[in-house]
């Protein structure tokens, strides 16, 4: 297999503009925007000399130091699917594990063999990330680097992320590339709705397994479908199947992906047409070089909700109504029904931020910490800025702003941010971090096939 020649696929990052924390509960929706920063995956065959049989897949991320992973794979007995093992048993192996790639390979290859038989040929996978996934080194931001993909002179684990959802985009792009490369078009074709839905289900299963928990899945949904209004799937869908290599894993994964399982349906709701960005407006992200540890914050918010359900649920219901109002106003403005100065959109942002600060205060979690309040308030005073939020789980990651797509608005923000010193969480030794505008904007489209030839040319730069 792997009869399709080199294959390239890309998937977008995301920003959960409205619905942080709420998106974990099926009662509520999240407003998630795809971003035009993409993770790109190229897959091609590994040429072998006559008579040599390899069962190897290599994965390489040439933008980072030592980012090469070599995997062996074998078919487990009793329908256990494909077991993937790390081939380089160095002393520093644990430092160099990549659970997202490892898990995705075992899930996707198991699904492929259940459809098309066990003869998987060796292949080489290259992963490239658009520069905005990582806090930008000075030589990119001042334009002196002409590279399409910057070479970061650090190992992947040391690269400071901007919080755009690289793991979900990675899992989605690798899944789509493997399916396209190893399956005939009659069984998987990225442009059909059925194939997209199967890709979504498989990428969700692999991503949850790699994270070690069943998350809300909004990040994988936007990597597959782009910008959408999202309602999560029931977690029970993914909590009871076998592990890779264990008997019946392959057919259980096939049932999950193809929705053959008994009594359980994928009840995800993904509404593409519920979200539109009005012409002349755009989203931008400003990176605050601190970053938050999201899982700890999520735990704390959920335990507050458990301890004080009435207080929490009242705030969640209000926030949900405010988020839905924002989505409706986006659509209204896009269809020409809004006032020209976007007052209603601004009011939606103000209302959402007020409720997020209330949630911050009651749960004692820094969802919109004071330093972010100060930054957002200052940004909102710049002419042409309609509103902003600390998206997703909040904290000290990048902020998101809706602005008029005009040079003078960008210039006004750049002027404000150039002198800004961000006062982190008070625990950092630095007197304050820099804030920089990322080059990203909203992206309506999700995963897509790319021209492999272009990537083969770019790879010559490394």
Q: Going from the N-terminus, what domains does the chain have, and what CATH number goes with each?
A: 7-272+445-459 (3.30.230.10), 281-441 (3.30.70.890)
- Please state, in angstroms and rounded to a whole number, the distance separating the CA atoms of residues 104 and 199: 12
To the nearest 10°, report the CA torsion of 103, 83, 93, 182.
-60
- Mean pLDDT, consecutive 10-residue stretches, the chain (462 aa), reads 80 96 95 96 85 83 91 94 82 69 97 91 95 71 67 86 89 98 96 97 97 93 97 92 93 93 83 90 87 77 96 97 94 81 94 97 95 96 97 90 96 93 56 79 96 91 80
Q: What is the predicted pLDDT for the residue at 428?
A: 44
**pLDDT number for residue 140:** 56
Inter-CA distances, 436 with 287, 345, 368, 408, Å: 5, 24, 18, 17
Residue identified by tokens 């490239």 is: 128
Q: Could you tell me if 233 and 204 are in contact, meaning their C-beta atoms sit under 8 angstroms apart?
A: yes
> Do the beta carbons of residue 40 and residue 128 sit within 8 Å?
yes
What distances in angstroms separate CA 233 from CA 201, 268, 270, 392, 408, one per listed residue?
A: 10, 4, 10, 18, 42
């Amino acid at each position: 297999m792997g009869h399709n020649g080199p294959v390239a696929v890309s998937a977008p990052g995301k920003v959960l503009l409205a619905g942080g924390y709420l998106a974990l509960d099926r009662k509520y929706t999240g407003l998630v925007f795809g971003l035009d920063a993409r993770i790109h995956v190229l897959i091609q065959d590994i040429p072998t000399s006559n008579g040599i049989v390899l069962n190897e897949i290599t994965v390489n991320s040439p933008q980072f130091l030592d980012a090469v992973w070599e995997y062996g794979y074998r078919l487990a007995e009793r329908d256990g699917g494909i077991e993937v093992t790390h081939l380089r048993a160095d002393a520093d192996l644990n430092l160099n594990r990549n659970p997202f790639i490892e898990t995705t390979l075992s899930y996707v290859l198991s699904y492929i063999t259940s459809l098309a038989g066990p003869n998987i040929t060796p292949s080489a996978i290259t992963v490239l990330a658009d520069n905005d996934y990582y806090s930008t080194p000075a030589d990119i931001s001042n334009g002196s680097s002409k590279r399409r993909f910057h070479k970061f002179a650090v190992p992947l684990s040391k690269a400071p992320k901007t919080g755009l959802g690289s793991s979900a985009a990675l899992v989605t792009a690798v899944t789509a590339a493997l399916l396209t490369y190893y399956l005939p078009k009659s069984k998987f074709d990225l442009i059909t709705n059925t194939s997209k839905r199967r890709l979504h289900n498989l990428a969700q299963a692999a991503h949850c397994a790699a994270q070690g928990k069943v998350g809300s899945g909004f990040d994988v949904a936007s990597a597959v479908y782009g910008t959408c209004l999202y309602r999560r799937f029931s977690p029970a869908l993914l909590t009871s199947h076998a592990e890779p290599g264990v008997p019946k894993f392959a057919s259980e994964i096939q049932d999950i992906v193809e929705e053959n399982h008994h009594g359980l349906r994928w009840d995800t709701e993904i509404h593409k047409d519920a979200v539109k960005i009005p012409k002349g407006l755009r989203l931008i992200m400003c990176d605050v070089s601190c970053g938050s540890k999201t899982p700890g914050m999520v735990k704390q918010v959920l335990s507050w909700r458990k301890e004080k359900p009435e207080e929490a649920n009242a705030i969640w219901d209000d926030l949900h109504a405010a988020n839905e109002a924002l989505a409706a106003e986006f659509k209204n403005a896009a269809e020409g029904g809004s006032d020209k100065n976007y007052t209603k959109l601004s009011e939606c942002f103000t209302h959402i931020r007020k409720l997020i600060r209330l949630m911050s205060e009651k749960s004692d979690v820094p969802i919109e910490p004071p330093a972010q309040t100060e930054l957002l308030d200052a940004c909102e005073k710049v002419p042409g800025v309609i509103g902003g939020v600390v998206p997703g789980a909040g904290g000290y990651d990048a902020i998101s702003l809706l602005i008029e797509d005009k040079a003078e608005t960008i210039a006004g923000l750049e002027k404000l941010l150039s002198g800004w010193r961000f006062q982190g969480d008070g625990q950092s030794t630095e007197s304050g971090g820099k804030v920089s505008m990322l080059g990203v904007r909203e992206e309506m489209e999700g995963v897509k096939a790319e021209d492999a030839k272009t990537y083969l040319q770019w790879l010559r730069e490394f």
